[in-house]
Chains A and B, each alone.
Chain A
């Protein structure tokens, strides 16, 4: 049997893994973004000790290697009597870890906004939360789109680490097929192709945000020219 034929015969397993990867990635990226939005709001407008504590947790999280964090949640916590199944541990790891990175991106971008806009929002009767949601956050997303997109792709790739805590996602599926028939090159090429495909979709989405930003004069290029 041809090596590619073996892969074709196991397509359900590989596509099943791919589907798991997409679910892990999609849910985690969205949840991480929402969580990071709240984190940034807490850092910027929370009461004194609270904002600083949140900031500390975010910084601590960013300094952690993702793999060790996933290990810790899945293999480490049971020794404290906390037990998650592999998927739950995977979701928690992806969401909280990438929320920390998203938050850092949004926080840094917020520092570049003029304070006058927020004042104008307050003067026009916005509550803190509504000002954030309607005036600040949309601009953060538009201005930081390329960097956020980059982080989203890292989030996609980090799902691969979850194969090590027994989540049956794309990398795990490819790995299983290749070790059974010893066709590592072909199996991993297929996996890489699927990761690429997804990344390109993400890039296309980011490019659209970039166009929107440019139309509003918020893009990098225009901003650079105007200075």
Chain B
């Protein structure tokens, strides 16, 4: 991600943001509320169109055609998004589909995977995030923690090159946070490439390869986790961290 800027109604939310996530790495994005973390994440898969700058996924530019000017057609943009997983703060499961259907929907109808294969893979993924027994339930009966684990399985089912997490535990009761973080920790250990916006400092410290701290739309610090938490370089980061200790 290079020099990405984005404004809403004249207010600059992202300013010349650069971000590099190497394959297999987990990068945590921290920052105060309203600093532009969600917008940053949503620019990566073009849910928000940046005003300037460019975003490359495994070397291919998203949202813009090869000529660098014209918009990517719907179909091509969709194909690129299929390679980027996303897990939402408010889960955003599809309520008319059962758990297993939520997980197989995109592999079957976006990737064109055979139904049997998609179901087999989905069952394994649900097992892996610990909700195999909820296979045929509908989302409205699940707890928040279960919903979010379905959300993670749904993203994984696409075999993405990177997964974006936007505060995946912020809408959860404290006792449910652990189960979601455990699933994410396992993914990070397997070498999944992840960009995580979170307020879970202990998790960020333990799991991340790098911490990116943003404030008012600017990347203020970019450090290894120990360095960031133990020796923040800037006053803004120190102030931010003081609220969590």
Contact = CB atoms under 8 A, between A and B. Distances in A.
Asked if chains A and B come from one complex, the reply is yes
A124 B96 contact: no
Contacts of B37: none
Contacts of B47: 119, 122-123
A56 interface: no
Nearest to B157: A124
Given A138-B96, A217-B140, A120 B109 contact: no
A103 B139 CA distance: 28
Given A138-B96, A217-B138, A217-B141, A125 B82 contact: yes
Interface stretch (A30-38, A63-71, A127-135, A149-157): A127-135
Nearest to A116: B92
B140 A222 contact: yes
B110 A130 contact: yes
A216 interface: yes
Contacts of A218: 95-96, 140
Interface in B121-140: 138-140
Interface in B44-97: 45, 47, 74-75, 78-79, 81-86, 88, 90-96
A124 B94 CA distance: 12
For chain A, what secondary structure do more than half of its interface residues adopt (helix, strand, loop), or is it mixed? helix
Contacts of B96: 138-139, 142, 216, 218
Interface residues of B, number: 32
Contacts of A125: 78-79, 81-83, 106, 110-111, 158
A123 B109 contact: no
Nearest to B102: A120
Q: How large is the interface on A (under 10, 10 to 19, 20 to 34, 35 or more residues)?
A: 20 to 34
B92 A117 contact: yes
B157 to A, nearest CB: 9
A126 interface: yes
Given A116-B88, A125-B158, A216 B82 contact: no
B78 A215 contact: no
B88 A124 contact: no
B90 A127 contact: no
Contacts of A135: 94, 105
Report the 10 A-B pairs with minimum CB-CB distance, sorted nearest first: A125-B82, A217-B140, A116-B92, A120-B92, A123-B86, A124-B106, A125-B110, A127-B78, A216-B138, A125-B81
15 contacts: A116-B90, A116-B91, A117-B92, A119-B92, A122-B78, A123-B86, A124-B82, A124-B85, A124-B106, A125-B110, A125-B111, A126-B109, A130-B110, A135-B94, A217-B141
Interface of B: 45, 47, 74-75, 78-79, 81-86, 88, 90-96, 105-106, 109-111, 138-141, 154-155, 158
Interface of A: 114, 116-117, 119-128, 130, 134-135, 138-139, 142, 215-218, 222, 226
Given A124-B155, A125-B81, A125-B106, 15 more contacts: A120-B88, A121-B106, A123-B45, A123-B47, A123-B86, A124-B154, A126-B106, A126-B110, A127-B74, A127-B78, A130-B110, A135-B105, A138-B96, A216-B140, A217-B141
